[in-house]
Amino acid sequence: MQRDFHHTVIYTLCRLAGMKSKDSEIVAYCSQYVDHASYGHALKFKEGGAFWQTRTAHHMLSRKLYDVSDAFNVWLPFHFLPQGEGSDMHEALITCSEGKSLNLLKEVVIKNGNKSYGLHWLGIFLHVYADSYSHQDFKGYYDPHNQIKLVSGREVKTKSQLLREYILEKLSFLAPIGHGQALQNPDIPFAIWSYQRADGEIIKVNNLKERFIPALDSIYNFIVQFLKKNPRYNNDVVDDSIYNLNRKKIINLLNRKVSSRRRHQLWLDRIRNNNFELQDFDDIDRNLNYDRKEWFKKAVLAVKARGLKERAENITYNFYKFEKKKNFRDSNWVKFMRAAAIHKYRILHTILPECGLSVG
């Protein structure tokens, strides 16, 4: 899914479920940041010590985008969770909504809700949960199963999209990772598209009806369940009917046939103007925004290395020198990284093995 869902829809669902605005903001930021945490190098600090980042996404032009080995660090645990069940190993490794592995992960996320990084893990999980709907029927690593022919689709073409298509055309022999050959169609809420597998079967998909609306209801219900077990994040106003009253508004926004950036802005406008009629509407709702660098900048001072000597000394750190800010250890950025590292470990070494899949 795209930023309109991962950020603003998730924020809205948290608020409608009864979560406080300050906590909803953290969850929604983490949900979207999964698509933006694309650095995996360590930070070596000026005052001593180092910090390893957990990468949850890739730069679009990164060679690791097509790295089969690296897929198990990024695509599989954060975007294409294997369902963990089926008639054979092949089927068990396919992503699907509400699979065995996802349901096992739900229990773990709820149980850890009281941790300092509990909300951050919830946000990461909700990204995975949403993607389990949009990315279903694909695998998060190089596999012939992903070798499909896009028969029809609908996309809002952008320069980056055209560049992506060009790259995929030139590197088609590497494309069977995730839904690469389907382009962005699985992630566009209003797309009606179809694709053909090697056996000739043509699969038709109506994203809104078959994937996005079911994802809305399922994710909302899970957030309600999470809050019942972790009431510290509840506001003082809980109204079980407010979601049903706003459900049609949410669906109509998802069906707006504009770019993901424009949809995201439309969602921000609606939230800021209390279009969903929250009884505890406050300044966080009124000023909601998303800046992919905001949390990092609050935790770390990054200064670009100058001169040949400095650049040579910092070549493995992307030519930057780093300094911890005062709140580094308790910053949202560090908590996200901690939650992401724990999430990946649990997926590869606990959840999937419990499903009979040894991939770690």
Three-class SS state of 327: coil
Q: Which residues contact 210 (CB under 8 A, 6 or more apart)?
A: none
Tokens of 345: 């470990």
Tokens of 56: 């949850």
Q: What is the DSSP letter of 177?
A: B
Tokens of 132: 């389990």
Give CA torsion, residues 22, 258, 33, 171, to 10 deg: 170
Full-model pTM: 0.92
Domain ranges of the chain: 3-354
Three-class SS state of 257: coil
Alpha-carbon span 94 to 111, nearest angstrom: 26
**HSE of 95 in the Cβ direction (CA atoms, 13 Å)?**
27
Nearest to 230 by CA among 113, 108, 105: 113
Helices (H) and strands (E) in the chain, counts: 17, 7
pLDDT, tens digit only, all 360 positions of the chain:
999 999 999 999 999 999 999 999 999 999 999 999 999 888 989 888 899 999 999 866 555 556 677 788 999 999 999 999 999 999 999 999 999 999 999 999 999 999 999 999 999 999 999 999 999 999 998 888 988 888 888 654 456 656 665 665 555 455 577 887 788 899 999 999 999 998 889 999 999 999 999 999 999 999 999 999 999 999 876 677 899 999 999 999 999 999 999 999 999 999 999 999 999 999 999 999 999 999 999 999 998 877 776 666 666 566 778 999 999 999 999 999 999 999 999 999 999 999 999 876
Tokens of 357: 């899949």
Report CA-CA distances (Å) from 337 to 101, 248, 304.
22, 35, 22
Q: What is the DSSP letter of 99?
A: -
Alpha-carbon span 349 to 203, nearest angstrom: 33
CB atoms within 10 A of CB 325: 12
